[in-house]
Amino acid sequence: MMNGMTARPTPADQMRLPLQRDLPEGAEGFVVSDCNRAAVEALADWPNLIGGVVAICGPAGCGKSRLAQIWAERVGAVAIHGAEAALIDPMELDGRPVLLDPAREVDDETLFHLINLAQAPGGALLLVARSAPSSWEAALPDLRSRLDAVISVPMEVPDDAVLSAMLEARFAERGIRPQKDVIPYLLRRIDRSAAAAEEVVERLDALHRPVTRALAREVLEGAEASGELFTPDET
């Protein structure tokens, strides 16, 4: 679906994740802008000594999982994929930071135990989901109160700065140098998500032709005709 243009942040409004925080290799490519700044700042020094539970919430493709992975590598957290949490002995996680993504796939009892463990010295639990834990259904009364107490930090759909960085990274991975007007052209026309950036670059690459604005328009028009991801506008 076509999205309206948003103002591109000025260089002063953009920054890269601070390397002095011992971020893992590749984290320097994560662009911080208005759409994700609150989440980046919330995780910058957490958990330190306070531990507890934090949730990063936002739409699909906004970069929340990547940001969570960067945090997990920095603090040495145990990364658990959704429902797999039920297969792990909770006591093995005692005193350790844990990343749970996607968090909504976890059953109530397991989630209850993980939240309790996050209160122990050295513990912390980062939840990744599309919605805030306070909006989740919970059959266990004790879990309900804990979910309501979780600190939730929102991430928005990628703005121009972040989506541009996503496209640049996908082109670079494939060794493609698009003409300079291609990315600005795509920014105004593709869905604002990591998946859309990946998909459009893959389609351009598959044609084995120089990546020009004309080729980008051809790809988007083909997707429009087939009812797929992208809808070009009139210009």
Per-residue pLDDT of 90-129, as tens digits, reads 889 999 999 999 999 999 999 999 999 999 999 999 999 9
Cβ atoms 67, 42 nearer than 8 A:
no
> What pLDDT is recorded for position 50?
66
Class of the CATH-defined domain 160-225: mainly alpha
Class of the CATH-defined domain 21-154: alpha beta
Per-residue pLDDT of 139-148, as tens digits, reads 999 999 999 9
Domain boundaries, the chain: 21-154, 160-225
What is this structure's pTM?
Answer: 0.80
**What's 19-86 look like in SS3?**
HHHCCCCCHHHCEECCCCHHHHHHHCCCCCCCCCEEEEECCCCCCHHHHHHHHHHHHCCEEECHHHHH
